[in-house]
A and B are shown apart, each in its own frame.
Chain A
Amino acid sequence: MHPIVKFVAQRILLGLVLLFAASIMIFAGTQILPGDVAQSILGQSATEQALANLRAELGLNDPLVTRYLDWLTAALQGDLGTALTNGQDIATSMGQRLGNTLFLAGWAALISIPLAITLGLIAVRYAGKWPDKLISAVTLTTVSIPEFLLGYIVMFYFAVQWRLFPSVSTVYDGMPLLDKLNAIALPVMVLVMVVLGHMMRMTRAAILNVMQSAYIETAELKGLRPFTIIRKHAFPNAIAPIVNVVMLNMAYLVVGVVVVEVVFVYPGMGQYLVDHVAKRDVPVVQACGLVFAAVYIGLNMLADVIAILANPRLRHPK
């Protein structure tokens, strides 16, 4: 078997093991949350009998392991259970939310990744000179400002002062694409600013690290243009660390958008999670946790696989 197939299979297997471990942690974590689900559903005035009946109905009296296995097998079949608070099917209501979040994250990624890498390449080309310093200063600033503040700043200028984009990102099914894009313009802007600095700086650092190599001197002694050297000789050897940080930020775009979604009242996963944590709706919290974990692990696994594929020693063994 080609070693690369083995390596990739190992990574995928490892990812599944990790996901399984994460599911245990999520389940265990929600179990030790204070409060009683039955109590929170029926309210303070419920009788002991009513509480006991509801607990039996929800299966809360079964042993922990049984409940975990039931939950996991159902989740594997796509059944994430029903929300305690409104009795709706979680998979259905979450599906739409997840779609919205992925839409937002996808556009943010589509803009931020090429931008970050291009800016990183430019920063390396002019390392230590003013374009490098300018890029570093601007991206560091946007990274350093808390995202809710960034959100309110862009809202103040772009929505209130200049009236270019709406301040509340309402989207609904069947909305035309352009309207949708108009609606999410501001949160996308904030997300890009939040992740750009990290990706750009890591790209710069990874390529600068490669620029120390002897083969870069060979390229210089071939009389190649500085940007050709960076693009053809340095960048291909810096792919692994760059992909890693890109994936980390993509995961953040999906998992970490809670604050931005709340600021812009965007109907995504973050809003959904926050709403149901407040209501102690344990099945929803568990389901969200599981989806977030899957996204996180999946993207990191993808990063590992790309890093393996980018390594010529693994791709072309002796």
Chain B
Amino acid sequence: MSDEDELVPVDHVPEGAELLKIRNLKIEATAYPPGEPPQDIVIVDGISLTLPKGRVMGLIGESGAGKSTIGLSAMSYGRGGVRLTQGEVLLNGAEIREAKPGALRRLRGKIVTYVAQSAAASFNPARKLMDQVTETTVSARGVARAEAERRAVALFTKLGLPDPETIGNRYPHQVSGGQLQRVMTAMALCPEPELVIFDEPTTALDVTTQIDVLAAIKDAIRDTGVAALYITHDLAVVAQVADDIMVLKAGKTVEVGTTDQIINNPTEQYTRDLVSVRSIDHEEKAPTADPVLRVEHVTARYSGLKRDVLSNVSVALHPGQTLAVVGESGSGKSTLARVITGLLPPSKGRVTFAGRTLSNELAGRSRDDLRELQMIYQMADVAMNPRQTVRRIIGRPLEFYFGLRGRERDARVDALLDEIELGQGFADRYPAELSGGQKQRVCIARALAADPKVIICDEVTSALDPLVADGILKLLLKLQKEEDVAFLFITHDLATVKAIADSIAVMYQGKVVRYGPKSEVLSPPFDDYTDLLLSSVPEMRLGWLEEVIEHRRMESAGH
């Protein structure tokens, strides 16, 4: 049997007609908790929504709110064994929740299409982009290959991709993340669908790239007249593209309304929490005469690379303060951390720490050098051994640096757990039994156990929900006050920077383009890049996107 027996004719629903109707949808999954019998858990409960052709509905909520699960229910797809157990999903009047596999195949990728969060992982690495973009258009829409490719090129052009005529001949690894996200949007639009599900399409991108992709997606939705479900955790982003917004929490609807009503006039407390800006108040501290960490004229490159990843970088970190290093991906932020920790010896320049010059090589550093400079990572779950309990994870630096054993060590572990506001009940848990925020707290405790002078925090809140991230930032500030530890805070998130930094270094293509106390760095006049970076942070008001696109002075490097 070939794919050609499953031709799906193009039969457009008129604009404004009811396209998707979900009534009292219940979605369940079976959980297998260790040591207990399997149990059914309810992921989504009693959701109803109506989406006419040509409109965009935003689904918003924290992780675990069921946004993606609801989005995928519009193609009657349950990810990872999830089951749509009750209610109705009507697509253009036809019930699809219990439709047969053949009927769903004719629907998926043709009438309803999907744009995933990570386009980089969602493209087949072994096949050319054009083959993947036109795959269903050719096989199931009965369009000749040449015509489908013409259509794809037109979409590439519309979405602002470079070299639209030839980019389809490339493989996924040959284009950048932001471009790939646009190619995926083209792939979703190519078969001329009625409904497109956008699942966090800009979340993994830099703010400066996000803005272009967002604008491209918005234009493409308007010009093709499809209906769309736009899933995100970022209310400011959804405010730019959606006509209506549904706020979700733990699988239930909190509030539904037009974008204007949700943003400017929310009725529920939870929505108001989401809408309100961050609540951290941080008094900027003045630089001291004697920095604890000084990076002096550092230039570094990876072996095999023909250009420097860092060139002539100089920054200083003062005791008990926070230096935020901001920039888009590829700007050299994390490489700077690798040079400071000794993982990448610089080709020029040096790093001084507490008055002494650190060896460039990791092997040349004393145990105290290692102890006083700790690190926390973005991915807390891969930074811990999954087979060790929290007690062993936090106890390890206590044994290694201080030789603590037995009861003495356990008492210190308990004290640290109190400090990170987890409590002693967590000592015997494994990382898998912790939530994302709790994992990051354990990593913080592990860093603190070494009694360091400086902690390098590499995107520590990037993988967390906004409210959880807020909790982590507050904890870090509290610990800074109590322990007098200095943070080198690497992030691409300017809201985080505003919340906690004392001084800021803005990096762009391996160079520090702006550096100084927070109040100075964040006050005009700005250089072009800092202006772009600051203006790219989505703001929670309607029409912001169009304003920024019109007024900005330069475009992003396109990573």
Decide if B156 is an interface residue (CB 8 Å cutoff): no
Cα–Cα, bound, A21→B109 (Å): 55
Q: Identify the closest chain A residue to B5 (Cβ).
A: A225
Known contacts A223-B105, A318-B173; is A215 also within 8 Å of B124 by CB? yes
Q: Most chain-A CB neighbours within 10 Å: which of B114, B124, B127, B139?
A: B124
Decide if A213 is an interface residue (CB 8 Å cutoff): yes
How many residues does chain A have at the interface if contact means C-beta atoms less than 8 Å apart? 22
Select one of B109, B118, B174 contacting A223, CB under 8 A: B109
Query: Which residues in B have their C-beta under 8 angstroms from that of A129?
Result: none
Known contacts A220-B77, A221-B108, A223-B110; is A313 also within 8 Å of B124 by CB? no
Decide if B548 is an interface residue (CB 8 Å cutoff): no
Select one of A222, A233, A310 contacting B108, CB under 8 A: A222
Q: Are B173 and A313 in contact (CB under 8 A)?
A: yes
Q: Are A219 and B107 in contact (CB under 8 A)?
A: no
Query: Which residues in B have their C-beta under 8 angstroms from that of A233?
Result: 124, 127
Q: Are B124 and A223 in contact (CB under 8 A)?
A: no
Q: Identify the closest chain B residue to A313 (Cβ).
A: B173
Query: Which residues in B have their C-beta under 8 angstroms from that of A218?
Result: 114, 116, 122-124
Known contacts A218-B123, A221-B77, A233-B124; is A312 also within 8 Å of B110 by CB? no
Query: Which residues in A have their C-beta under 8 angstroms from that of B124?
Result: 215, 218-219, 233, 236-237
Select one of B75, B118, B123, B170 contacting A221, CB under 8 A: B75
Q: Identify the closest chain B residue to A221 (Cβ).
A: B114
Cα–Cα, bound, A313→B75 (Å): 33
Give chain A nearest CB distance to B380 CB in angstroms: 21
Query: Which residues in B have their C-beta under 8 angstroms from that of A46?
Result: none
Q: Are B105 and A224 in contact (CB under 8 A)?
A: yes
Decide if B121 is an interface residue (CB 8 Å cutoff): yes
Cα–Cα, bound, A313→B171 (Å): 8
Query: Which residues in A have their C-beta under 8 angstroms from that of B313?
Result: none
Q: Beta-carbon contacts of B60-86 to A below 8 Å, as 1s and 0s? A: 000000000000100101010000000
Q: Are B173 and A223 in contact (CB under 8 A)?
A: no
Decide if B106 is an interface residue (CB 8 Å cutoff): yes
Q: Identify the closest chain B residue to A223 (Cβ).
A: B108
Decide if B3 is an interface residue (CB 8 Å cutoff): yes
Select one of A223, A310, A312, A313 contacting B104, CB under 8 A: A223
Q: Are B125 and A223 in contact (CB under 8 A)?
A: no
Decide if B126 is an interface residue (CB 8 Å cutoff): yes
Q: Are A236 and B127 in contact (CB under 8 A)?
A: yes
Q: Which of A211-253 contact B (CB under 8 A)?
A: 213-215, 217-225, 228, 232-233, 236-237
Query: Which residues in A have their C-beta under 8 angstroms from that of B6?
Result: 225
Q: Beta-carbon contacts of A101-125 to B below 8 Å, as 1s and 0s? A: 0000000000000000000000000
Q: Identify the closest chain A residue to B106 (Cβ).
A: A223
Give chain A nearest CB distance to B499 CB in angstroms: 32
Known contacts A316-B170, A316-B174, A318-B174; is A222 also within 8 Å of B136 by CB? yes
Decide if B135 is an interface residue (CB 8 Å cutoff): yes
Decide if B91 is an interface residue (CB 8 Å cutoff): no
Q: Are B125 and A313 in contact (CB under 8 A)?
A: yes
Known contacts A221-B109, A223-B108; is A312 also within 8 Å of B126 by CB? yes
Known contacts A214-B116, A236-B127, A312-B171; is A224 also within 8 Å of B3 by CB? yes
Q: Beta-carbon contacts of B398-426 to A below 8 Å, as 1s and 0s? A: 00000000000000000000000000000
Give chain A nearest CB distance to B116 CB in angstroms: 7
Known contacts A228-B3, A318-B173; is A215 also within 8 Å of B121 by CB? yes
Query: Which residues in A have their C-beta under 8 angstroms from that of B171?
Result: 312-313, 316
Decide if B140 is an interface residue (CB 8 Å cutoff): yes
Query: Which residues in A have their C-beta under 8 angstroms from that of B174?
Result: 316, 318
Q: Are A215 and B109 in contact (CB under 8 A)?
A: no
Known contacts A220-B108, A316-B174, A318-B174; is A225 also within 8 Å of B125 by CB? no
Give chain A nearest CB distance to B335 CB in angstroms: 19
Q: Which of A143-199 contact B (CB under 8 A)?
A: none
By DSSP majority rule, is chain A's interface helix, strand, loop, or mixed? Answer: helix
Query: Which residues in B have their C-beta under 8 angstroms from that of A225?
Result: 1, 3, 6, 105
Q: Identify the closest chain B residue to A228 (Cβ).
A: B3
Query: Which residues in A have their C-beta under 8 angstroms from that of B140?
Result: 223
Q: Beta-carbon contacts of B110-142 to A below 8 Å, as 1s and 0s? A: 100110101001111111000000011001100
Q: Are A213 and B3 in contact (CB under 8 A)?
A: no
Give chain B nearest CB distance to A125 CB in angstroms: 13
Cα–Cα, bound, A222→B190 (Å): 12
Give chain B nearest CB distance to A224 CB in angstroms: 7
Give chain B nearest CB distance to A229 CB in angstroms: 10
Q: Are B135 and A222 in contact (CB under 8 A)?
A: yes
Give chain A nearest CB distance to B520 CB in angstroms: 38
Q: Most chain-B CB neighbours within 10 Å: which of A233, A236, A312, A318?
A: A312
Select one of A217, A219, A223, A237 contacting B126, CB under 8 A: A237
Give chain A nearest CB distance to B391 CB in angstroms: 32
Query: Which residues in A have their C-beta under 8 angstroms from that of B106?
Result: 223
Cα–Cα, bound, A312→B132 (Å): 15
Cα–Cα, bound, A51→B77 (Å): 83
Q: Which of A28-62 contact B (CB under 8 A)?
A: none
Cα–Cα, bound, A195→B121 (Å): 34
Q: Identify the closest chain B residue to A234 (Cβ).
A: B124
Query: Which residues in A have their C-beta under 8 angstroms from that of B114?
Result: 218, 221
Give chain B nearest CB distance to A40 CB in angstroms: 56
Q: Identify the closest chain A residue to B131 (Cβ).
A: A232
Query: Which residues in B have their C-beta under 8 angstroms from that of A220?
Result: 77, 108
Give chain B nearest CB distance to A189 CB in angstroms: 32
Cα–Cα, bound, A117→B3 (Å): 22
Cα–Cα, bound, A236→B124 (Å): 9
Query: Which residues in A have their C-beta under 8 angstroms from that of B135?
Result: 222, 224
Query: Which residues in A have their C-beta under 8 angstroms from that of B110?
Result: 223
Query: Which residues in A have their C-beta under 8 angstroms from that of B72?
Result: 221
Q: Identify the closest chain A residue to B135 (Cβ).
A: A222
Cα–Cα, bound, A237→B122 (Å): 13
Cα–Cα, bound, A215→B123 (Å): 5
Cα–Cα, bound, A232→B127 (Å): 9
Cα–Cα, bound, A318→B106 (Å): 36
Q: Identify the closest chain A residue to B123 (Cβ).
A: A215
Cα–Cα, bound, A217→B122 (Å): 8
Give chain B nearest CB distance to A232 CB in angstroms: 8
Give chain A nearest CB distance to B179 CB in angstroms: 13
Chain B contact residues, CB within 8 Å of chain A: 1, 3, 6, 72, 75, 77, 79, 104-110, 113-114, 116, 118, 121-127, 135-136, 139-140, 170-171, 173-174
Taking A219-B124, A225-B105 as given, write out 12 further A-B residue pairs in contact, using a Cβ cutoff of 8 Å, ordered by the A residue number.
A217-B79, A217-B122, A218-B123, A221-B75, A221-B108, A221-B113, A222-B113, A222-B135, A224-B139, A225-B3, A225-B6, A312-B126
| Interchain Cβ contacts under 8 Å between A and B, 26 examples | A214-B116, A214-B118, A217-B79, A217-B116, A217-B122, A218-B114, A218-B122, A218-B123, A218-B124, A220-B108, A221-B109, A221-B113, A222-B109, A222-B136, A224-B135, A225-B3, A228-B3, A237-B125, A237-B126, A312-B126, A313-B171, A313-B173, A316-B170, A316-B173, A318-B173, A318-B174
Of all A-B residue pairs in the complex, the 5 with the closest CB atoms, nearest first, are: A222-B109, A223-B108, A214-B121, A236-B126, A223-B105
